Amino acid sequence: MDLKYILHAIINTGSLLQDDEQKKVTKMVNTFSIITITLCFLFGIIIYAATGKMGLLLPAFIEGITFTSVIFLNSIRKPVMASIAFIAINNVAIVYFSAVLGMITEVHLLFIFLLGASLMLFKTRPLIIASVIIAFLSLIACEVNYYYTFVDPTIKGHDQQFIIRWITIPAILFLDIATVFLYVKKLRVLNKKLEKATNEKTIFVRETSHEIRNPLNAIYGISQDLMMRVHKEEKYSDIKQEIEHLYSATHNVLQIINNILAISKIEEGASHDIQNEAFNVRELMADKIIVYQYIADIRGVKIKLDIHEGMPADIIADKGKLTQVLNNLLFNAIKFTKTNSIITISLARDNDQWQVLVRDQGAGIGQKQLLTLFTPFVAGKSDFEGTGLGLPITKKYVELMGGKIVVNSVVDEGTAFIVRLPLTICENALPTTKPSFMELTLHKGLKCLVIDDNEMSQLILASFLRRLGFIIISASNGVEGVNKAMDEKPDIIFIDSYMPGLSGKETLQTIREIPELKNIPVVAVSGDAFQESINDMLGAGASDYITKPIELKLLNSTLNKLLVQ
Q: How far apart, in whole angstroms, are the C-alpha atoms of residue 174 and residue 178?
A: 6
Same domain as 234, residue 326: no
Given a cut of 90, whether residue 81 has pLDDT beyond it is yes
Which of 275-289, 344-358, 384-398, 468-482 has the lowest average pLDDT?
A: 384-398
> Within this chain, do residues 278 and 350 fall inside the same structural domain, yes or no?
yes
Residues 403 and 468 in one domain: no
> Are 476 and 388 in a shared domain?
no
Q: Are residues 371 and 244 in the same domain?
A: no
- Give the per-residue pLDDT at 378: 59
Mark whether 512 and 551 lie in a shared domain. yes
Crossing angle (nearest 10°) for helices 158-232 and 20-51: 160
Residue 164 lies in a domain: no
CATH of the domain at 310: 3.30.565.10
pLDDT at residue 565 in the model: 45
Residue 229 falls within a domain, yes or no?
Answer: yes
Among 83, 95, 64, 65, CA closest to 24: 83
Q: Does residue 244 contact residue 297 with C-beta atoms inside 8 Å?
A: yes
Asked if 420 and 301 sit in the same domain, the reply is yes
**Whether the Cβ atoms of residue 92 and residue 67 lie closer than 8 Å to each other:** no
Per-residue pLDDT at 403 exceeds 60:
yes
Work out the number of other CB atoms within 10 angstroms of the CB of residue 31: 16
Reported confidence tier of residue 525, pLDDT bands at 50, 70, 90: very high
In-domain check, residue 162: no
Mean pLDDT, residues 131-135 taken together: 89
The strand pairing partners of 356, in sequence order, are 347, 419
- Model confidence at 158, pLDDT cuts 50, 70, 90, reads low
Do the domain assignments include residue 190? no
Q: Could you tell me which of 99, 102, 133 has the C-alpha nearest to residue 115? A: 133
pLDDT of residue 492: 95
In a shared domain, residues 29 and 123: yes
Is residue 131, in this structure, part of any structural domain at all? yes
At 153 the three-state DSSP class reads: coil
Q: DSSP state, 491?
A: S
> Does a structural domain hold residue 204?
no
- Residues 239, 241, 244: CA angle, nearest 5 degrees: 110
Give the CA distances from residue 388 to residues 183, 217, 256, 364, in Å, rounded to whole numbers and listed in that order. 36, 24, 9, 17
Helix (H, G, I), strand (E, B) or coil at 539: helix
Q: Stretch 186-191: mean pLDDT, rounded?
A: 78
> What pLDDT digit, counting tens, does each position of 418-464 carry?
999 999 998 887 776 655 555 678 889 899 999 998 888 898 899 88
- Report if residue 431 sits inside a domain: no
Among residues 222, 252, 267, which one ends one of the domains? 267
Average confidence (pLDDT) over 316-340 = 91
Return the CATH number at 468: 3.40.50.2300
CB-side exposure of 511: number of CA atoms within 13 Å? 37
What 3-state DSSP class applies to 385? coil
What are the residue ranges of helices labelled H in 67-78? Answer: 68-75
Asked if the structure places residue 123 within a domain, the reply is yes
247 and 389 part of one domain: no
385 and 451 fall within a common domain:
no
The total number of structural domains in the chain stands at 4
Q: Are 351 and 425 in contact (CB under 8 A)?
A: no
Do residues 364 and 227 both lie within one domain? no
| 343 vs 168, higher pLDDT | 343
Same domain for 336 and 227: no
Identify the band that residue 149 occupies on the pLDDT scale cut at 50, 70 and 90: confident
Cα(495)–Cα(364) distance, integer angstroms: 47
Boundary (domain end) residue, out of 249, 267, 285: 267
Mean pLDDT, residues 278-294: 87
User: Last residue of some domain: 362, 393, 425?
Assistant: 425
What single DSSP character describes residue 514? S
Which range is most confident: 122-126, 195-199, 270-274, 526-530?
122-126
Beta-bridged to residue 82, according to DSSP, are none
Cβ-contact 545, 524 below 8 angstroms: yes
Neighbours of 16 (CB within 10 A): 9
- How far is the CA of 336 from the CAs of 169, 380, 549, in angstroms? 66, 8, 26
Query: Mean pLDDT over residues 50-63, rounded?
Result: 84
Range of the domain at 12: 3-156
Strands (E), 228-352: 277-280, 302-307, 314-317, 342-350
CB 507 within 8 A of CB 495: yes
